Amino acid sequence: MASVFRLGLTGGIGSGKSTVAGILVELGAAVIDADAIAHAVTATGGPAIEAIRATFGNNMITPEGALDRQKMRALAFSHPHARQQLEAIVHPLVGAETRRQSDAAIVAGQRCLVFDVPLLVESSRWRSQVDAVLVVDCTEATQISRVMARSQLDAAAVQAITQAPRARRLQAADAVIFNDGIPLHVLRSKVAALATTFGLSLANTTAGPN
């Protein structure tokens, strides 16, 4: 059986990580989105809901039966132990679904798996599970501008959304794509070129403008 290359993809909010993930899908990779899985397990009817209710009470559940993300974010910010409790519920479920999707992709013949993980650098487990880490980077000013343009948040609120510091992400990277002030077709070419550098088994590594 041909070997499978596992690429960890991460980047700060507003960096364009999701756009890069989409390009990798176009190139033939299978992308497993840890954040989307986390949202699914805490959505209405998700497998984490009853454990969240038992741990934090009905106050943390919306009338529709999903995790109230705004309330949980505020609680986790003021009480770090609450964040640890939530992670203890959610992370095993995310891990199980990640493995299920990975196994299914491999059975389907995929030889390049991309793990889209917003907090990959903060995690103690993810780095050992991937062959390389790709960081999508841009300046903090660009991050703030992009997030403000797509949300109702002001600059101060965006700055308060803390993930791994930029320097820490870059230090952990095996490769970096600087996605700042470039058009989409240039970004697409950068991703395709980097794919060949890693030797990823992509269906089409020449994607770009016609």
Percent of the chain with pLDDT over 70: 89
Task: Quickly state the pLDDT bin for 31 (edges 50, 70, 90).
Answer: very high
- Does this model's pTM top 0.85? My answer is no
Q: Read off the tokens for 89.
A: 């519920």
Task: Quickly state the pLDDT bin for 107 (edges 50, 70, 90).
Answer: very high
Distance of CA 190 to the CA centre of its chain: 19
Poorest-pLDDT segment among 77-91, 113-127, 169-183: 113-127
Give the CA-trace dihedral at 160, 166, 172, 174, to 10 degrees. 130
User: What are the DSSP calls for 122-182, one per residue?
Assistant: T-SSSGGG-SEEEEEE--HHHHHHHHHHHSS--HHHHHH---S-HHHHHHH-SEEEE-SS-
Segment 121-130 mean pLDDT: 82
Q: Which strand (E) or helix (H) includes residue 116?
A: strand 112-116
pLDDT at residue 160 tops 90:
no
- The residue assigned the tokens 């919306």 is 62
